[in-house]
């Protein structure tokens, strides 16, 4: 068995004295692990850092084996994130999200979205917008997509500002007014592009929304919770982006 693909490093762990097991989100083969000979050495260690784009060739005698990777660095972005707290925490959170996907299950759309986020991860507001939208997309990829197109009560497509925490459906301002304190806020940037940059408050509302459904539908059934890096990322963004 042999294939070559491009991917993004999600993680690496040492294996023996000099080798490493690399976890890579590939375009056509999904989240895939492989043994890298010499992966713990000085030549390959800088390449096998989370967030780096690589080209990998995987070989194994049988498809179900761990197999071996040979790795070539394509775009080594990881070093630029080390001194930027929100970028470092955001990257760790993104890698944790990707581990929710079944191993070896292709998700080329998520790979493309992750690549785009890495290009803007250095700017806190842009990174927060991209990661909130990514969480929304992750919910859909895992089978828990939200219906944010029409009001659950009236069917209107206008003035959708709430989401039901039970059904995951949008609710208009008029229909939701009597239950405002029980509904989640739906910031406009989550559903459509806007020339106005979202405020810190709107970013917090977006992550409260996606966090609620990620926790309830995806993480709690697995006996886990949102990674601490997510809260650290949000705290760093809050310090950098004005609330109003």
Structural domains in the chain plus CATH codes? 2-76 (2.40.50.140), 81-148+186-240 (no CATH)
Closest CA to 131 of 140, 118, 143, 144: 118
Instruction: Work out the angle at residue 118's Cα, subtended by the Cα atoms of residues 39 and 80, and round it to the nearest 5 degrees.
Output: 65
**What pLDDT shows up at residue 243?**
83
Average pLDDT of the residues in 88-110: 96
Q: Record the pTM.
A: 0.94
CB 23 within 8 A of CB 12: yes
- Cα distances from 134 to residues 64, 112, 210, in angstroms, run 30, 11, 10
pLDDT score for 167: 96
pLDDT attached to residue 144: 97
């Amino acid at each position: 068995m042999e294939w070559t693909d491009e991917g993004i490093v999600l993680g690496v762990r040492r294996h023996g004295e000099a080798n490493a097991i690399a976890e890579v989100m590939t375009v056509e083969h999904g989240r895939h692990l492989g043994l890298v000979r010499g992966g713990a050495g000085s030549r390959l260690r800088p390449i096998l850092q989370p967030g780096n784009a690589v080209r990998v060739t995987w070989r194994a005698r049988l498809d179900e084996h761990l197999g071996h990777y040979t790795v070539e660095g394509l775009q080594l972005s990881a070093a630029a994130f080390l001194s930027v707290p929100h970028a470092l925490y955001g990257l760790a959170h993104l890698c944790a999200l990707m581990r929710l996907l079944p191993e070896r299950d292709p998700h080329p759309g998520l790979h493309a979205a992750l690549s785009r986020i890495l290009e803007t991860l250095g700017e806190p507001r842009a990174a927060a917008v991209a990661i909130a939208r990514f969480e929304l997309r992750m919910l859909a990829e895992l089978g828990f997509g939200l219906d944010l197109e029409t009001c659950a009560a009236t069917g209107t497509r206008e003035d959708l500002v709430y989401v039901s925490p039970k059904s995951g459906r949008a609710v208009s301002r008029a229909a939701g007014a009597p239950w405002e304190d029980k509904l989640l806020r739906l910031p406009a940037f989550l559903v459509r592009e806007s020339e106005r940059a979202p405020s810190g408050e709107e970013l917090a509302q977006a992550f409260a929304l996606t966090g609620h459904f990620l926790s309830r539908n995806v993480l709690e059934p697995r006996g886990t919770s949102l990674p601490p890096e997510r809260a650290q990322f949000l705290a760093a963004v809050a310090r950098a982006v004005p609330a109003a």
